[in-house]
Amino acid sequence: MIPPTLLPVLTYLADFFAHHHVPVWMIGGTSRDLIRGVVPTDVDLVVDGDGMALARTLADRLDGSFVPLDGEHCTGRTVLPARANTPTLYLDIARLRAPSIDGDLRLRDFSINAMALPLTPHLLALWAEPDGANQLHTALLDPTGGLADLYAGTLRATGPASMADDPLRTLRAPRFAATLNLSPAPELAAQIRAAAPGLARIAGERLRDELFKLLETPSSAVWIEYLDACGALTILFPELEAARTCTQPRIHFLPVLAHMLETVTSLEWIIQGLPLASNLRPPFAPRLPVAVQTYPHLSRAMPYADEYARLLGEMRSNGRRRLALLKLATLIHDNAKPQTKQVNPDGKVSFYGHQELGAEVATQIAKRLRMSRQDSAYISLIVREHMRPGQLRAGEVLTPRAVVRFFRDTGDAGPDVLLHELADHMATRGPNLQPEHWEIHRTWIRELLDVHWGVPVEHRQPLVRGDDLIRELKIAPGPEIGRLLRGIGEAQASGEISSYAEAIALAQRMLNEPEESTKPA
């Protein structure tokens, strides 16, 4: 049965195209969703005519917006604004890519997307009858067996050349498998492997958009591993290939690339324990991290779970969620370990500076994918600071000033860095993780988050200003003033000082002992 919210729009569209004597079909996800009894979030149409011109005319008639999508294939979009009881609706109208609808469907990527329903007033009338579901199946155009594959839970290419026709489809495959709970057909891996080298020729914007659609899915980790098994991941990210065989100290149970993949798996397992929106929850049981397979009763209850759910579910200005960006940063966080690996005379292995170099590589990756400066800066920060919490934990005493300095340097991404570090800890130890240490680790993160998300501290006016320091200490203006003010601000935020006199005294000590005073507390 047609969803009541969609019926008026479909009825209008059917009459509109009939009036213009233009054959029209609902295709791809629209026909697939209607067959499954799911309300489509948008309507994809193919016409035997100029889709661009028709989309423009529809936008004018329905008081919507027109967006040109593809001039070569005469494809346009009509955006209908949200109204009472109806959300914003996107109507994409494309011209047939073959002389017939059958030929057009055979050119599409996967059989589940190569189904079509003719949009006519007659068909809409049939849907209203008691056996409307049977009428729907009878009218379905399905030249590649998409309906059978959908019911069987199989993702199959429309033909042997489908992946090679557009290598970006190698990234679309795991996304559809993740969102529709499909298993790839046996031959699909070989088709992806053969077509994957073509990803190097795809525009960064297209790669970025498809990659983030995959990362937005709740269980993307297993499909990122599938891409790697098919040889596509390190074509998309050639910076990761050297990590495949880069071994690590005994504390790690996996080489570097496998460790980064396991960290994404661990991150998703933790995130799925948060009170997230339903569309961010996995539709089926994902693969568990090795540590959880070993210790099934490990708790993933996070401190400040509601705050984390809001933070990671945040929709950024470009339409991507924060959690997808965190997954990408996690996937590449140890990218520079192969370049910085050193084996010391005593046999110990070190990777000094890999986080700083890795942050530079992360920035290059973001630039290649045409990501915004804001998103690029976020990913670079996570990679650069991912060792910081571990360094704080290694200290004998965690001072208030060190915590203040951590959140000062990481900004609003501080909680993200802590979440990444917890997933990194789990992925590092795997079957050797000690449950009691896991609990201590979660408690330690709570203590840090108490500073960031705990009882709000009343806004404090600065104890001193730059001109106070110049006057009291008789020093000249310059960068030194900024260093002193930062130190005073940290001490004030951590509760170490609370008066003008204490601030001036601290500044004097910092001048007398500059090296000591700039060391992390």
CATH code of domain 157-236 = 1.10.110.30
Flag whether pLDDT at 455 surpasses 70: no
Residue 413 has pLDDT above 50, yes or no: yes
- Whether residue 469 contacts residue 484, with contact meaning beta carbons closer than 8 Å, is answered with yes
The pTM score is 0.84
What pLDDT shows up at residue 517?
Answer: 43
- Taking each helix axis from N to C end, the angle separating 7-19 and 51-61, rounded to the nearest 10 degrees, works out to 120
Q: Is the pLDDT of residue 156 over 70?
A: yes
What's the pLDDT at 396?
A: 55
Taking 90 as the threshold, does the pLDDT of residue 159 lie above it? yes
Q: Mean pLDDT across the stretch 217-230?
A: 95
Quick check: 309 and 321 in contact, CB under 8 A?
Answer: no
% pLDDT > 90, the chain: 62
Tokens 């059958």 belong to 102
Task: Assess contact for 405 and 490: CB atoms under 8 A.
Answer: yes
Q: Looking at the domain that runs over 7-152, which CATH code has it been given?
A: 3.30.460.10
**Residue range 3-29: mean pLDDT, rounded:** 88
End-to-end Cα spacing for the chain: 66
- Strand 24-27 and strand 154-155: the pairing is unpaired
Give the start-to-end residue ranges of the domains of the chain: 7-152, 157-236, 243-453, 466-517
Please state the separation of Cα 320 from the chain's center in Å: 7
Contact 191, 163 (CB under 8 A): yes
Work out the pLDDT band at 72, boundaries 50, 70, 90: confident
Is the pLDDT at 486 greater than 50? The verdict is: yes
- Two tokens at 169? 């489809």
Label residue 279 by pLDDT band (50, 70, 90). Answer: low
H/E segment holding residue 373: helix 373-385
Answer whether residue 516 shows pLDDT above 60. Answer: no
Average pLDDT, the chain: 89
Compute φ and ψ for 67, nearest 5 degrees: -130, 115
Residue pair 22/47 in contact by the 8 Å Cβ criterion: yes
- CA-closest candidate to residue 150, choices 176, 174, 169, 131: 176
Which of helix, strand or coil describes residue 343?
Answer: strand
For residue 491, pLDDT beyond 80: no
Distance of alpha carbon 337 from alpha carbon 351, whole angstroms: 6
Question: Which runs of E-coded beta strand occur in 18-147?
Answer: 24-27, 42-47, 65-70, 75-80, 89-95, 116-118
- Closest to 484 (Cα-Cα) out of 501, 465, 497: 465
Residue 205 is encoded by which pair of tokens? Answer: 């914007």
